[in-house]
Amino acid sequence: MTIAATSPPPFKRLLLTGAAGGLGRELRRRLKAYCAVLRLSDIAELGDAAQSEELAPAALENAAAVIELLADVDAVVHLGGVSVEGPFQPILQANIVGTYNLYEAARKQGVKRVIFASSNHVTGFYRQDEVIDATMPMRPDGHYGLSKAFGENLAQFYFDRYGIETVSLRIGSSFAEPADRRMLATWMSYDDLERLVVASLTAPVVGHSVIYGVSDNATTWWDNTPARHIGYRPQDSSEPFRAAAMARQPTIDQTNPAALYQGGGFVTKGPYE
């Protein structure tokens, strides 16, 4: 259910990249309440434009196309890129070169706020018996996590040098419900995803803020206290799904690195050559 927005919409035009992905599809229908025009971009099929939508397909590694993509945009919700662990070259092009192109386009087009979809895999090699916050050193668990660590550093640089504000969202597991025991700690509901993105867009001052994208779960590995200034207050919890998740996964192999580290199965993927 879409959370009620203020009236009139606070933004004239928002850009949503990665709009054809799982979270992109959710935010596509939700963010229209907060802007007069929602510009949608992806390299995958976007379907037909609905009322108040603009379709603008673009490959993130195409610098010229990305500069055009950010024209007349108030803010960017950047979900675009490779969203899973895998070989380095595709991740390099979409997530590293592509994110650089996006920030350069923001600089050239005068866009002053970016909501960057980072990932919990930036810190995937912390253990599941630890509680960490975003001030602690990064420990990426693969090529994907490395690319998101680069994106966070890029966001810090563009704020320090050019004053472009970013909220880097270390998204956990945002699905309709938790699929397994790990997700009891990492799950974020779609409604909390909307709350997080809207808080990130509308907080008056964010600088470069890093916050974990997670609901108010009873089990948690991430302390969001350092980012409470953006106003995100999750309202959902994985607890109603606990019994079903544990029934699907009644035991855990404590010798499996995926059960020991916060990154789960990502810590065991690769090498790819």
> C-alpha 42: how far from its chain's center?
15
Inform me whether the pLDDT recorded for 7 exceeds 70.
no
Beta-strand relationship, 35-41 and 75-78: unpaired
pLDDT of residue 9: 84
Give yes or no for residue 3 having a pLDDT over 70. Answer: no
**Domain at 256, CATH number:** 3.40.50.720
Q: How confident is the model at residue 6 (pLDDT cuts 50, 70, 90)?
A: very low
In a domain, 6, yes or no: no
Strand partners, 171: 119, 213
Tokens of 182: 């790990």
Q: Is residue 273 part of a domain?
A: no
Query: Which listed residue (100, 103, 126, 144) is catalytic?
Result: 144
Q: What is the mean pLDDT of residues 28-35?
A: 97
Which amino acid type is present at position 234?
P
- Residue 5: inside a domain: no
Residue-wise pLDDT tens digits, 37-77: 999 999 999 999 999 999 999 999 999 999 999 999 999 99
The band of 8, judged by pLDDT with boundaries at 50, 70 and 90, is confident
Provide the domain count of the chain: 1
4 found inside a domain: no
> In this structure, is residue 187 part of a structural domain?
yes
pLDDT at residue 1, rounded to an integer: 52
Is position 181 within any domain?
yes
Q: What is the mean pLDDT of the chain?
A: 96
**Gap between the Cα atoms of 221 and 30, Å rounded:** 28
Is 144 labeled as catalytic in the residue annotation? yes
Q: How far, in Å, CA of 169 to CA of 23, rounded?
A: 13
SS3 241: helix
**Cis peptide bond upstream of 8, omega within 30:** yes
Distance, C-alpha 40 to centroid of its chain: 16
The pLDDT, as a whole number, for residue 2 is 55
Is residue 222 within 8 Å of 181, Cβ to Cβ?
Answer: no
Whether 108 is in a domain gets the answer: yes
103 token code pair: 């920030």
Q: Which domain holds residue 28?
A: 11-268
Instruction: Indicate whether 87 pLDDT > 70.
Output: yes
pLDDT attached to residue 254: 86
Residues 137-188 pLDDT 10s:
999 999 999 999 999 999 999 999 999 999 999 999 999 999 999 999 999 9
Maximum Cα–Cα distance across the chain:
55
Alpha carbon 222 to its chain centroid, in Å, reads: 15
Residue reference for tokens 């995958």: 44
Query: What is the pLDDT averaged over residues 94-103?
Result: 98
**To the nearest whole percent, how much of the chain has pLDDT over 70?**
97
Report if residue 159 sits inside a domain: yes
Element (H, E) at 189: none
Strand, coil or helix: what is 12?
strand
